[in-house]
Amino acid sequence: MPRKPTPERLTFFSDGVFAVLITVLVLELRPPAVPTYAALLDLWPRWLSYAVSYVFIAIVWANHHYLMRFAREATGRLLWFNFAHLFAMSLLPFSTAWMAVSKLAPQPVAFYAGVFFLVNATYIGLIWELVGHTHAARRTLRLRSLLTLGLFAVAALVALKFPLAGLGICVCCLIVYLRPEP
């Protein structure tokens, strides 16, 4: 008889993916050819993209960590919701690099906001799966995530015209997730 499917291994696997993702981002930070701070500052779109993405992954991890504390068993559905969530996250290094290389051009920034949207949408799936109907936090958790889901969609549209404004909306949405507990 197999052992029961505990959520532990699911958590460790997810942690591994988060840890690699947050470090893979760094690989995009290529040293400038010239050894001066002027050359370093010239790369500001990369720095800004890196910082925003780092904070984003940190926040998503903290919220994932919070949500997984509700898990009792690694059911098949939880597994696939989690994979969908990690897939959305895995698009982050690519979209960060595209945004940085293009020096915050409209379409890459909109794509970046789209990744935030996808991560948020799959997070709602995890809430649905993990937080029971009877739990007091469920309502607040869902309200908050539906609200930011809408805002990320708006950010994607705005970014097509005003990239920096779209990026700004994304950053603002992150603030409400600094504390995972609603």
Minimum CB–partner distance for residue 63 and its own copies (Å)? 11
Q: How far apart are CA 120 and CA 85, in angstroms?
A: 8
Minimum CB–partner distance for residue 21 and its own copies (Å)? 6
Instruction: Pick the closer one to its own copies by CB: 98 or 124.
Output: 98
Q: Yes or no: say if 180 and 70 are a contact pair by the CB < 8 Å rule.
A: no
Q: Which stretch binds its own copies (CB under 8 A): 13-21, 118-126, 144-152, 169-177?
A: 13-21
Q: How far apart are CA 3 and CA 53, in angstroms?
A: 38
Among positions 24-43, residues that touch its own copies (CB under 8 A) are 24-27, 29-32, 35-37, 40
Among positions 112-171, residues that touch its own copies (CB under 8 A) are 135
Tell me: does residue 45 bind its own copies (CB under 8 A): no
Which of 45, 48, 83, 176 lies at the binding interface for its own copies (CB under 8 A)? Answer: 83
**Closest alpha carbon to 95 in 71, 73, 118, 76:** 118
Minimum CB–partner distance for residue 47 and its own copies (Å)? 10
First vs last C-alpha separation in the chain: 40
Which of 94, 138, 154, 171 lies at the binding interface for its own copies (CB under 8 A)? Answer: 94
Q: How far apart are CA 105 and CA 177, in angstroms?
A: 27
Residue listed under structure tokens 């893979």 = 24
